[in-house]
Structure 1
Amino acid sequence: MILLSFDIEEFDMPFEYGKTLPFEDQLAISTEGTLKILALLKRAEIKATFYCTANYAQHRPLIIKQMVDEGHEIASHGYYHSDFKPEHLLQSRLKLQEIAGVEVTGYRMARMMPVDEAEIERAGYIYNSSINPTYLPGRYNNFSKPRTWFYQQNVLQLPSSVSPIIRFPLFWLSFHNLPMTVLKWLSSATYAKDGYLNLYFHPWEFTDLKQPERFGFPGYVTRNTGNAFVERISAFIAWAKNKGYPFGTTGSFVQHINMKAG
């Protein structure tokens, strides 16, 4: 199964490059990208998981409602994207449940940073998808972590997908920069080894990021963004469907694993 997920957050990434952006602009850019994602998924007739910050959800509740109405899963991405306290784990889950009107069982830490698994369990989550099991300079070194799902603190851990052996990450930046032939080959090899792909993206990738004065992003971030990325992801989905790979929400995949585990 292919698990597509999208981190729906206030667009604060320009802060990492010394830029500032008004909060309303952060919301507007994330919303523009999210609407493109929802339209893309509807055309492809597949469901996905949206990891939302409670802060975004409070300011755009109608977008959250649209996600639910169209059959997608809501999971937590924390309360704020650039501020974390342990109490946010439970607070964000409860606020999202209040806004979405559905149970929230999954979590992903902002920027795939470490999080206390005991706190995750206490906050009532069933699964956590906060590990990129590879090495990214300046971010993390997770070579010691398992490549595929495992249990910790009674919570199912679902790392993002990396290729076998060399652990090349199949994450959002790879989808912008690799030739599609290479991306498909790595995805096929990983799917054959693991039986699933766990892929994550952000809504702002589906907007025009080639605005250096406004955002300050390097070329490897802005390459193939906006409508070009809509086309790339649409083509990838069509290729995967042609290969016979099913798509589903992360929650349904985790439920299946938990039932098999007994």
Structure 2
Amino acid sequence: MVQRVMITAGASGIGLAIAKAFAISGAKVSICDVDERALGEVQQLHPQIFAMHADVSDEKAVDQWFDKTAEKLEGVDTLVNNAGAKGPTGYVEDIALDDWRQCISVCLDSHFLCVRRAAHLMKDQRSGSIINISSTAGLHGYGLRTPYAAAKWAVIGLTKSLAIELGPFDVRANVICPGSVEGPRMQRVIQAEADGRGLPIDVVAKEYTQSQSIKRFVSPEEIADMCLFLASPAAKMVTGQAIAVDGHTETFHVSN
């Protein structure tokens, strides 16, 4: 049976690596993203992937994406909630409420909106895998990034609760907690922190990897590999788990 996979924020970075990995495995893949340029590149370079513009923090946009995907893929077996935002960088007393809410909306509300649609479909077919992307910040906390950390902790709670609700229907729900993933997004995070702390960017970058047993950044493809496993029959009894792909965080990066 050909697997049918939906991936949020799938036009670049981790999301694109996941989409490509599933497509190479033979799956039918549907992605959405807010980046029109990146979506255009996916449609040009990977025409087998259905790509659609959608802001997954918006309920109507999520419904439209699921409705269109149902036509293209004729169902869904795996949902990967990858959408997220770095949120503001700063001490909690300096964070504006609007910035807090925007980060929560993208990092948490989007997961809720998508799993609400997927849960109904998967329960009806009595099978499925939901994979939510959190972060090691959702395991340890994250100074100067409180909105992001709060949302990522909540994603783990959401997923463990989903595992309880959906288990009787043979639907699994798991969380992947990436460490520091190489790429432009991580560079922007490091730059913002370096600016806020008044430190050179290379000093802050080194702090991230020095706190790990394997002292390098994670590749997007390594996150994709874990998604493939969790969506496969090899993981048919794996549910409710928060799995770090981070080279083992010994001491979480602390900003001060």
**What TM-score, normalized to structure 2?**
0.40
Q: Which has the higher helix share?
A: 2
- Higher RCO, 1 vs 2 (CA within 8 Å, ≥6 residues apart): 1
**What TM-score, normalized to structure 1?**
0.39
